[in-house]
Structure 1
Amino acid sequence: MAKSSNKFTIRDICFIALITAACVVGRTAFQFIPNVQPITAIFILVSFNKGFLRSFLIVLLTIFTTNIYMGMGPWTLTQVFSYTVIIIVSCGFSQMPWFAQHQLPQLIFALFTGYLFGFLTACGDTIIYGIRAFWPYYVQGIYFDTLHGVGNLLFYALLRPFIPRLLLRFWPNQY
């Protein structure tokens, strides 16, 4: 889990665009399964390897691009907020050697992010839409949070062997 500088190169811009395109295709391809898409796993893997700023740009571009197709609305703000918190937590965990060296805590974290995303989104929704009963609203979505978490776990397990190697090979940390 490497650190990266805040300086951007043409290579950075190209890879941010390519990873965003992969996220857009992945989210669009799996839209028929509620809350199951590879973007959360990709966001986590990129944040582990490239830090907050690059991950945040990928989150913004992915959410705004896919919501142009799937529907833009106030929920876009809660999605960006929720994914931002997830990549902040991911960046924090990436600094812990025990976490970076073992796959099991990473898989558990990937599963947990489905519930974290749902909780944060529900918090934002209650504010935006003026929902007074937070807990009943949140509990109704736990089934979808479970789908999101299990999807994250599966996609993380599938992508973990490949994405860090691709990032290291084609998007090295030397500038």
Structure 2
Amino acid sequence: MVWFRAPLLIALGLFVAGIALTAALKDRHYVLLSLVLLLAALLPLFLRLERRQLESRELVLLAVLSAIAAVSRIPFAALPGVKPVSAVVILSAYVFGAEAGFVIGAVAALVSNIYFGQGPWTPWQMFAWGMTGLTAGWLRNTRWMRSRTGLLIFGFIWGFLFGWIMNVWVIISLPDAFSWGLVAATYGAGFYFDLAHALSNVFFLAILAGGWTKVLERFRKKYGLLQE
């Protein structure tokens, strides 16, 4: 079953260990750690090579989708919380599956931060966007995700989940001693940014979910790309 794919679960476990290590290192070696996590994100593809030959055009497709997701952040840099990346990752996973979504989300975070700046937050963004793609791929064949309304609700929810994951890093990085008041203040301060992200997910998914998804599905069926 899709829910218990060993490669994806191994990669997910490495990510959890990696972001825990980020919390310990804080501002040291985060670039190296990000590269290690990138390899973890690619692990499902490496293991897929054992089952069947991964074609070069499939790797090119993943690279192109990752680049599109990464570059989509730049035009909206002046609008905090507005991140088209999530919509691109969700739709890519919707068409090509959990493995592709996980890889595209993680790679997009690392590549886009070449422009926005690398930091100890990078592994957490890689994890958050990777999980966005992973869960979208896992749920893509459900009745809920097959409906337009369900897809938009999924994007709205992940707008908040992404921010909540990043808030964990914010809390850990603060010099103040942990307290529930600090947690409430952090999540309260980030609410409007998370809301902006959630609403922008709905907006971009509503625009792209029709024509763009059909184009990707046509490529997948015609050329047999990333068949699960």
> Which TM-score applies when normalising by structure 2?
0.68
Tell me how far 1:166 sits from its aligned partner. Answer: 1.7
Tell me how far 1:21 sits from its aligned partner. Answer: 2.0
8 Å CA contact 2:83–2:197 kept in 1: the answer is yes
Tell me how far 1:20 sits from its aligned partner. Answer: 1.8
Tell me how far 1:124 sits from its aligned partner. Answer: 3.0
- Distance (whole Å) between structure 1 residues aligned to residue 92 and residue 159 of structure 2: 17
Among candidates 87, 93, 96, match of residue 50 of structure 1:
96
Q: Secondary structure at the match of 1:35?
A: coil
For residues 61-95 of structure 1, the C-alpha deviation after alignment (integer angstroms, 9 at most, x for no partner) is 21111101111001111111212222232123213
For residues 2-50 of structure 1, the C-alpha deviation after alignment (integer angstroms, 9 at most, x for no partner) is xxx9352111111112112211221111111112121101111111111
Q: How does 1:64-103 map to 2 (within 5 A)?
A: 64-96=110-142, 98-103=143-148
Q: Secondary structure at the match of 1:171?
A: helix
Q: Secondary structure at the match of 2:144?
A: helix
Among candidates 126, 150, 158, match of residue 171 of structure 2:
126
- In the other structure, the counterpart of 1:105 is 150
Tell me how far 1:125 sits from its aligned partner. Answer: 2.8
- In the other structure, the counterpart of 1:61 is 107
- Distance (whole Å) between structure 1 residues aligned to residue 117 and residue 196 of structure 2: 21
**Higher gyration radius (CA):** 2
- In the other structure, the counterpart of 2:212 is 163
8 Å CA contact 1:12–1:171 kept in 2: the answer is no
Q: Secondary structure at the match of 1:83?
A: helix
Between the two proteins, what is the percent identity of the paired residues? 27
For residues 121-163 of structure 1, the C-alpha deviation after alignment (integer angstroms, 9 at most, x for no partner) is 1123323446622221111100000110010000000010123
Query: Residues 82 and 129 of structure 1: is their aligned pair in 2 closer, same or farther, counting only changes over 3 Å?
Result: farther
- In the other structure, the counterpart of 2:224 is 174
**Alignment root-mean-square deviation, CA:** 1.9
- In the other structure, the counterpart of 1:136 is 185
8 Å CA contact 1:11–1:171 kept in 2: the answer is no
Tell me how far 1:165 sits from its aligned partner. Answer: 1.4
8 Å CA contact 1:74–1:128 kept in 2: the answer is no
- In the other structure, the counterpart of 1:29 is 75
- Distance (whole Å) between structure 1 residues aligned to residue 138 and residue 63 of structure 2: 24
- Distance (whole Å) between structure 1 residues aligned to residue 191 and residue 199 of structure 2: 12
Q: Secondary structure at the match of 2:105?
A: helix
Gap runs ≥5 in structure 1: none
* Counterpart code for 2:160: Y
Runs of at least 4 residues of structure 1 off by over 6 A?
none
8 Å CA contact 1:64–1:76 kept in 2: the answer is yes
Among candidates 180, 200, 204, match of residue 151 of structure 1:
200
